[in-house]
Amino acid sequence: MQELIIEAWREYFAVLKSNLAQVEGRISCTADIWSDEVLRPFLALTAHWIGKSEGTALLQLKAALLAFHHLPGSHTGDYITQKFLHLLDHAEVMEKVSTP
């Protein structure tokens, strides 16, 4: 079962990376860190962008899970930033992420 889940994620992620590569504007991200019932910490990273609605010329806010990552270790600002940037780089969206 674990292998099926991992393979499904790989397929999803390949399609997502292809879709994000075609985004014309910027991509914004949100992150959430939490612990499960046995206190294992996780980081979820979601990408948000404006894209065309399928079959129309209308624009639509889109969002997709970019990463779900085990986050062991100390949760300092530097550590979280390092993981966040690593996940953006892995998704190949670093140059499209909005910056202030």
Q: How many CB atoms lie within 10 A of CB 43?
A: 18
pTM of the model: 0.86
**Which residue type, as a one-letter code, is found at position 13?**
F
What DSSP designation does 53 have? P
Distance between CA atoms of residues 68 and 5, nearest Å: 13
Distance between CA atoms of residues 15 and 9, nearest Å: 10
User: How confident is the model over 57-88, as pLDDT tens digits?
Assistant: 889 999 999 999 999 988 999 999 999 999 99
Residues listed for the chain:
100
User: How confident is the model over 80-98, as pLDDT tens digits?
Assistant: 999 999 999 999 999 999 7
Mean pLDDT of the chain: 93
